[in-house]
Structure 1
Amino acid sequence: MIGALNHVGVATPSIADSIKLYRDVLGATKIGQPFDLPAQGVKVCFVDTPTAQIELIEPYDATSPIVGFLAKNPKGGQHHVCFEVADIHAAIT
């Protein structure tokens, strides 16, 4: 059964620029430190909201799986939505 919204993934060409938007324009106060996930081909930063998180994702390099998404959406945009489930294996079978 589908659970609570965990996070919304937002692809961005620049996490640094997106942090400024969420902090300075949208008023976010709980923004994590960006970190690299080279195995997944992305750089990541989480922005906490009262009920979920926003996951900012930037390409790690030119081979990143989100390079194509950003080619189609140069300013970035919603990439994925993640819901909590009790058992991920039961949820996908």
Structure 2
Amino acid sequence: MSDRARNVARFLHVCRGPDGAVGGRTRRRHPRKRRQTATTCYLERDEVEQLFDGLPRDGKPATREKALLMFLYNTGTRATEVIGLTVDQLVLTSSP
């Protein structure tokens, strides 16, 4: 038996349903992987206020950190999305 014929025979064996029919609605289904869905974690408003209150107030690093946290909070952007962001992608005008 050639490799091609052997592969077709294996395929038909896998697709054969409980009644012996091939294909259609009677074919055997493979079980799906079951995995736990990830939970979404977020900060409450008072926790966000505490976070902003705890930031340093003077210097360029303080301004940078506050701007970054405000951007994350106001847009809902993930930290991993911000990592790849470039200045050219920002729109720095106020919306109407």
Could you say which structure has the greater relative contact order, defined with CA pairs below 8 angstroms and 6 or more residues apart?
A: 1
Higher-helix-fraction structure: 2
Query: Which category of TM-score, normalised to the shorter sequence, fits these structures?
Result: under 0.3
Higher-strand-fraction structure: 1
TM-score, length of structure 2 as denominator length: 0.21
TM-score, length of structure 1 as denominator length: 0.21
* Structure label with greater radius of gyration: 2
